[in-house]
Every structure is written in structure tokens, then in C-alpha cells.
Amino acid sequence: MKKHAAPLGGIRREFSAVILSGLALLTGTTGCALFTHPPIDPEIQKASDEFVRALYTIRQQGIGNHDYKELTQRAIHGMMTSLDPHSDYMEPEAFNKEMESISGQFGGIGIAIQLNSEKKVEVHDVYEDSPAAQAGLQPGDLIIKVDGTDIEPDGLEQSAKLLHGNPDTSVKIVFTRKGEEKPLETTVLRKLVEPGYVTVKTIDTPQGKIGYIGLPTYNSELIAAQMSKAIEHLENDPSGAPFAYIVNERDNLGGLLDQAAKVLALFIDPPEKKLESITLVSVEKQGEKTVYVATHETDTDGTPLADKVGQDDADGSTVYFFPAKDLIKGKPLVVLANGYSASASEIFAGTLQDLRRAAIIGTRTYGKGSVQSIIRLSNSPGSGALRLTTALYKTNSGLTPQGNGISPDIKVIEPKELDSQSDPKEMSHSNMLRPAENEVRPAEVKDQKVCETKPEALSKAGESFRAKVTDRKENKKYEIVDPFIACAVDFLTRTETLTTTKPFSAPTP
């Protein structure tokens, strides 16, 4: 690793202690480490001897024909789940699926499937230019047979397994379509598929157009690139760029730590070069610190530090540098969050709130401030892996959302029939990871405002609560009645929002 001469020189020293660990996951991890054999230790030997005796006794004297491998996997699973709510043992198949998910690419036909109200497998979406699109599959088609195998009721996982496969292999699909009397049949050639995770829409208001970006997960290495493309699409819209943005992170349970940091850097630009680098998130584990920063700084040879890895001479922390871009050019920004926004989502929302770069609207987030690392137990194809909690992360302020979550700047009070999860569920775990009290974000933000979306207000279709939305993919307009979006639109279209929201108000040195 190259050592940089004071690479964080532009950051205030109290912030340089708040920087984060690379390659680790947040509902999993940003990479996979391989198990390293421990040194000879009498305690380990004694414990393993007792475990082997237990295995042998169960196999010899227990009722039933128990397989040693199965018993071992169950024992590891029990051990991991006893540690904390997020640690677990991943069997080989689960591990392979996780790695496939993280890579963001897999052999398939390019569709998203779901169960409809009758528990039948329905095509929810067909990716553009995918093998499925070329074969004529459409949203709403009901899949009834794949390669001669009848699809069972509730057969979502069954269908996914049958549809996935190696690139350049074919799969025969029988499906029904509304308006067609008989089932249809098509053969599709599988290709390497890249799912479209990020969604883009525009919301028309009397004050102009608002860009809306749906961000459902961080659990793919493709997220930051897709987010960048989404923003560039909106900014280069021939009909005009949006005057403000909404990023919807509701129900986003997290994912890869580095993706959260990279997405953050797309919205951050140190003001007038007064601060050349801004801390995005930090992690400490086993006495080692890693940091992600958005930067304008240059290396000792004059080249940009962005996309490099360095070391802070002051404290020895490893530093990952990302280019500070702010692709939306300082425009007003709202992040929507709820009780199912967790982990990497809380990094994004929390740091933007710390930097006063965005208003967080919604309900308190989940409260997961821990980082998990995936550690494979061997190189054997049949090897499982540990998903082990290895650290707590902190946002720019140096505080973790563990337990308390991220408290919104504007709390949405929904009609009872639409009420969503609002309390961090991490609080309910009796064996919750408990950081020091002075390291935890406050349960409520100061001067929190409330947006109460009463049914009568929504039903009157006022401009603030019922907005015209343009779906880019489907090229159609429709009305929304979404309490969270309604509050965001109401906030962004008020005159004082547009006149008082500054592009960036980070603390000055």
C-alpha cells in the first residue's frame, strides 16, 4: 500500500478520526476473506476435542442417521446466531448466491418475477435489451412450466433456480398471458444479465420538475455506477434538468459498505476547496481503522487521490479515496427513509444529515450500526462461510446509529391505514451490540419538524400531495398519493426551501 504524505491534511483533525474500513459488508460484506489457520492453542485444541466427542456420540447413540457434515453445519449455525442478530453461518449454496448477488451479474434471461395475489409466479419486469425482451416475454405473463417442470403454487424460488443457468444455455418457458386462450411457449438463450436496481422518475410541480431516484439496495457492486447514470440522465434531460432531487431509501436494508460511500461521493463536493476532503464513514475493528473519504486532493506526484488507497500518517488508518462530484450541482436534496432503512442506507442518510447536505424525511431508521465480514472457511467448492460481525461504523459526525437509528429532520405522520414501521427494530434485540453512550447518535434530532398527511389532505389532491409522475421506462404519467413523497414535494416546493437551502454547509476549518 502506498503511503501518502498527510493525505487527510484538508480534513479537520476531529473528522479524520472518523474514517472507515474498506471491503466489508453491512448486511453482508464488500468482499470475501479466506479463513486463516490459528496458531497452536491448547484452548482451541481442548474445545475442538470436546466438539468431536459430541459429534461422535450423536452419530453413534442418537436416534436417526445423522451426517457429520450436516451436524457440523448446524452446530456452527447455532454458535454464530448466538453471538448477535446479524452473525450467521452460510451453507455453500447460500454463499454462492451471496457472491452472485454482490457481483451484480448472473446467467439468466433478464426478468424480475414475483408472486401475484393468487400465489402464481408472475413476470414483474423485463429488463431492456435482455434475452427475455427479445423472446417477447412481457410484464404480467404467468410462468407455468420451465424446462418441462411444472411450477408449483408459491414457486418463486423454484422458478428462479430453473431460470438461472450458465450463459449460452437455453431454457424453455411455458406461460399464460391475459387475452390469450392457450398457453404460450418460448425458448430463451441465457446471457450474463445485469439487473437494473436503480429506478428513475420525474415529478412535475408548479415550481418545476423534481428528480426521483429509487435506491432499493446497496448489495451489488453495480449500485454506484447505476446511480451515477441515473443522475446524469436526469441532469441531461432535453426537457430540462430537475431543480431538486428525492432519493428514496425506504425498505433498503443495506448492502456493500464501499457502494454506500461511492454513492455518497456523488452528492458531495467540498465547498470552495476550503475542505479538500470530507469523511464519509469510518470503521474500527481489532484496533485497525479504515476510512472512506470524498476528495479533491492530489497525491505527492500531483495526480488526483480519487480511487486510490492511502495511509494516514497521523493515526495509521487505511484511507479509501473517492472523487467528490456532487453530480446534482448543489441542488436541494431529500432522502426518504423508514424503519426498514438499515445499515448502508443509514450511512448514506446519516452522513448527508451530518453535513447538512440533505433533509431526511420519513420515520426513524432501523438502527443497525454494525459491519459484517464474510469469511469463507476453505477454498473447497463445498465450503461454507461465516457472516461475522466484526465492527461498528460511524457516520461523518463520529457517531453510530447502532440502536437509535437515524432520526429524520421531518417526521412523517401517516394515516393509520398506511402506517409503516417507524421504530428501529434493532432496539428489540436483547443481545444487541451496545457501543459507548457517547458514540451513539441521539434518538431525536434537534428542532424536528412534523409532516402530518391526513387522509382528507391526501384525498383533496392538492398540488403538494398529489403530483404528476413521469416514469421514464414506461414513458407514461400517473398520479401518486404517497405520504412520504407528498411531504418531500411539499418541502421542496416551498419558497423558503429554494431560497435558504445552500449547496453545502460543512463546518469550516
pLDDT tens column, 349-400: 999 999 999 999 999 999 998 988 888 888 777 788 899 998 889 999 999 9
Q: Which domain holds residue 326?
A: 199-500
Q: How far is CA 104 from CA 15, 121, 375, in A?
A: 33, 23, 20
What are the pLDDT digits (tens) for 311-361?
776 788 888 999 998 999 999 999 999 999 999 999 999 999 999 999 999
Q: Say if 224 falls within a structural domain.
A: yes
Q: Say if 98 falls within a structural domain.
A: no
What are the pLDDT digits (tens) for 49-106?
888 999 999 988 988 888 898 899 999 999 999 988 889 998 888 888 777 767 656 7
- CATH number, domain of 217, equals 3.90.226.10
Task: Specify the pairing of strand 32-34 against strand 170-176.
Answer: unpaired
Residue that finishes a domain, picked among 169, 193, 217 = 193
H or E segment and range at residue 145 = strand 142-146
CA-CA distance, 238 to 218, in Å (whole number)?
29
Q: Are the C-beta atoms of 366 and 405 separated by less than 8 Å?
A: yes
Q: How many CB atoms lie within 10 A of CB 267?
A: 27
Q: Assess whether 368 carries a catalytic annotation.
A: yes
User: Closest by alpha carbon to 227, among 263, 255, 253?
Assistant: 263
Contacts of 6 (CB under 8 A, 6+ apart): 312, 313, 314
Contacts of 489 (CB under 8 A, 6+ apart): 203, 205, 210, 246, 464, 465, 467
Q: Say if 73 falls within a structural domain.
A: no
Q: Assess whether 273 carries a catalytic annotation.
A: no
Domain count along the chain: 2
Confidence of residue 424 (pLDDT cuts 50, 70, 90): low
Q: Are the C-beta atoms of 141 and 175 separated by less than 8 Å?
A: yes
Question: Which residue among 368, 373, 409, 411 is the active-site one?
Answer: 368
pTM listed for this prediction? 0.74
Q: Assess whether 331 carries a catalytic annotation.
A: no
3-state secondary structure 351-390: HHHHCCCCEEEECCCCCCCEEEEEEECCCCCCCCEEEEEE
Q: Which amino acid is at 153?
A: P
Task: Specify the pairing of strand 385-395 against strand 88-90.
Answer: antiparallel
Is 70 exceeded by the pLDDT of residue 304? yes
Residues 296 and 418 grouped into a single domain: yes
Residues 313 and 391 grouped into a single domain: yes
Residue that finishes a domain, picked among 175, 193, 211 = 193
Question: Which residue among 354, 409, 482, 490 is the active-site one?
Answer: 354
Question: Which residue among 21, 87, 343, 370 is the active-site one?
Answer: 343
Residues 218 and 250 grouped into a single domain: yes
Contacts of 4 (CB under 8 A, 6+ apart): 299, 300, 305, 310, 311, 313, 319
The pLDDT of residue 35: 57
Q: Cα–Cα–Cα angle for 252, 410, 470, nearest 5°?
A: 60
Residues 307 and 408 grouped into a single domain: yes
Residue that finishes a domain, picked among 178, 193, 208 = 193
